[in-house]
Amino acid sequence: MDRGLIMGEPSMKPTSNRSNLRVYSSQRKNHQILVMETGGKRKKGSSGRKGGGPKKKPVSRSIKAGLQFPVGRIGRYLKKGRYSERVGSGAPVYLAAVLEYLAAEVLELAGNAARDNKKNRIIPRHVLLAVRNDEELGKLLAGVTIAHGGVLPNINPVLLPKKTDKPAKSPTKATKSPAKATKSPKKA
């Protein structure tokens, strides 16, 4: 098939033929026209892609980063929230990694608290016990109220019964009180 006839330029001649790239040039009314063509056949349905290989499966940014949390959704929330005019490409990945780490840490401690209470299911009480018993998480979530979490068990030592050093005296003899021992004479 003659390339010049397709383009409507009968005088187009190939100027270069390196491997898969062919460059055609033509002079027409003081204009030089360059047409570049790549070798290889295009498949139907390639939708603008070059090459005839099979279409690659799309890979999410979460999978690329090795995360469970959604990088794309977090990026969308960052843009939608108007925290800044521009959001870098690494910011949602970093934020997703931090959130995933914190969630894993809280869930691990809450799972331990549930196991200590002989339960198989984590409830808000276990989350509260996990967060409040951990120094760093307790500091991070100091102003947070967890619904149905309750409070940490704590009794002020002043309210506890006093411990005595001496053992309590046990009565050895049943002694009568002096008032009962001496009977007053009956008045006649």
Q: Cα separation of 13 and 77, whole Å?
A: 54
Q: Tens of pLDDT along 6-40?
A: 555 555 555 555 555 555 555 555 555 555 555 55
Q: CATH 1.10.20.10 residue ranges in the chain?
A: 62-152
Q: Model's pTM, two decimal places?
A: 0.60
Q: What is the pLDDT of residues 38-50, one digit of tens each?
A: 555 555 556 666 7
Q: How far apart are CA 10 and CA 99, in angstroms?
A: 64
**What CATH topology corresponds to 62-152?**
Histone, subunit A (1.10.20)
**Six-digit token pair at 38?**
């790549």
Model confidence pLDDT, tens digit, residues 111-156:
999 999 999 999 999 999 999 999 999 999 999 999 999 999 999 9
pLDDT in the model for residue 5: 46
